[in-house]
Amino acid sequence: MTMIDRRGILAGSAALLAATTVRAADAPAGTLKAATASKGRRFGSAFAWSPAGADAGSFANPAYAALLRRDCDVLVPENQMKWQAIRPAADRFDFSRFDPMVEWATTNGFALRGHTLFWAYSRWFPAWLNNHDFGQRPAIEAARILDQHIDTVTKRYGRKIDSYDVVNEAVDPDTGNLRETSLSRAMGGTANVLDHAFRTARAAAPHAELVYNDYMSWEDGNAKHRAGVLALLADFRRRGTPVDALGVQSHIGLFQPTTDAGVVAKRLEPEWRAFLDRVTAMGYRLVITEFDVRDKGLPAAIGPRDRGVADFARAYLDIMLSYPQLGDVLAWGLSDRYSWLRGFEPRPDGEVTRGCPYDTDLKAKPLLAAMLAALAGGVRQVGQAA
Ligand code: G3I
């Protein structure tokens, strides 16, 4: 990076920090972590690694770090703990980005969630794992690779990470069946891989909450995905697989044109509650792991768009927070400036997505107020994991 680039980044960060400091006064009273703590829960967010001072959703960007400090008790790495990031080859680990994140979080008093010990989807495997030669005894070699991964990560960070998305997105949303991968072919089926991952995690990190994390959501079109997740959770119980909680990712969204998000939410509520009732009836706790709002169906104008996002979120969070089994609540980033939605879920009109509580200037939005009200108004959490 040239000196000019670096000066530009630092100047941009200083301006953003000033903006955040000033604008905190305009934000609704209270912080997300205080509202959440009032009901015995923790609030948190995804965060990233970047070079010092870069304009990124990173601990090393002072403006973003100020938001994390203001609102969060618990942080989760958006990408830097994934196999693609930390395991460049079967016999090699690289913690050069994740270590400084853990160091910063723990020295600043944050708890950490681990995302993810195993993303059960070949699309997100490192290329070497999709192409690995498992040799003469494939089940043993596959289990060795998986165990080595889970043991290495959990033991490196010990009690600094107290909750893990042990398995992420194993259910194919189109069919409700479990996805096949190179590991599942080697180990005689996906169920074997998932059970193995949870058992290894429990043995290596007995202090930690173990979560199955997925994006079966409440919108239309998710019925097969929800059914597949329910079947998987029932199978875990039948087999005695040590799973403590369902991670409900909560990338909620309005996809069809609408001007009344509240009406849409009312229509979706009964089926969503039926799903959550069945999950909790099996003895699982709930975690909101990746909350944000996709706003494609809302008008471009900021006023009505922000109102729609806030109303939809409020209705959703009110439902989730009516469950005493709900523990941590995490956003998948705090600012529209750095949200994955901008790249992965762009609006057809090209406008910047507005699915996070703070906008691209890190200024509070109506969504923040809706989240504060919902979090403070929920029922108390009970039955925390050990
Ligand atoms: O870091 C590289 C950079 O070096 C390179 O120059 C650049 C060029 O494309 O790519 C950068 O990596 C990207 C990374 O995000 C960081 O921005 C990857 O290509 C991109 O695939 C990656 O996307 C992430 C995605 O998961 C896949 O891992 C998103 O940021 C992240 O928000 C998203 O998060 C997922 C959760 O893990 C699981 N649930 C759904 C959620 C949203 O899709």
CATH of the domain at 253: 3.20.20.80
Nearest atom within ligand 1 for CA of residue 344: 43
Average pLDDT over residues 147-172: 98
383 located within any domain:
no
Q: What's the gap in Å between 173 CA and the centre of ligand 1?
A: 20
85 located within any domain:
yes
73 lines ligand 1 (CB under 6 A): no
At 313, list the tokens.
């979120």
What pLDDT, on the 0 to 100 scale, is given for residue 27?
Answer: 56
Beta strands in the chain, from DSSP E residues, in sequence order: 43-47, 74-77, 111-119, 161-168, 209-214, 245-248, 251-253, 285-294, 326-331
Ligand 1 probe mutation, 1, 47, 79, most atoms within 8 A of CB: 79
What is the model's pTM?
0.94
121 lines ligand 1 (CB under 6 A): no
292 lines ligand 1 (CB under 6 A): no
384 located within any domain:
no
Average pLDDT over residues 229-238: 98
- The answer to whether 352 touches 342, Cβ cutoff 8 Å, is yes
pLDDT over 50 (residue 11): no
Residue 10: pLDDT band by 50, 70, 90 thresholds? very low
- Mean pLDDT, all residues of the chain: 93
Average pLDDT over residues 270-276: 98
What pLDDT, on the 0 to 100 scale, is given for residue 33?
Answer: 98
Ligand 1 probe mutation, 50, 78, 97, most atoms within 8 A of CB: 78
Average pLDDT over residues 49-76: 98
pLDDT over 50 (residue 134): yes
What pLDDT, on the 0 to 100 scale, is given for residue 259?
Answer: 86
78 lines ligand 1 (CB under 6 A): yes
What pLDDT, on the 0 to 100 scale, is given for residue 187?
Answer: 98
Q: DSSP letter string over 44-90? A: EEEEB--STT-SSSBTTSHHHHHHHHHH-SEEEESSTTSHHHH-SBT
Q: Look at 232 and 27; give whichever has higher pLDDT.
A: 232
210 located within any domain:
yes
Find the domain containing 39 and state its range: 6-377
214 lines ligand 1 (CB under 6 A): no
Number of domains in the chain: 1
55 located within any domain:
yes
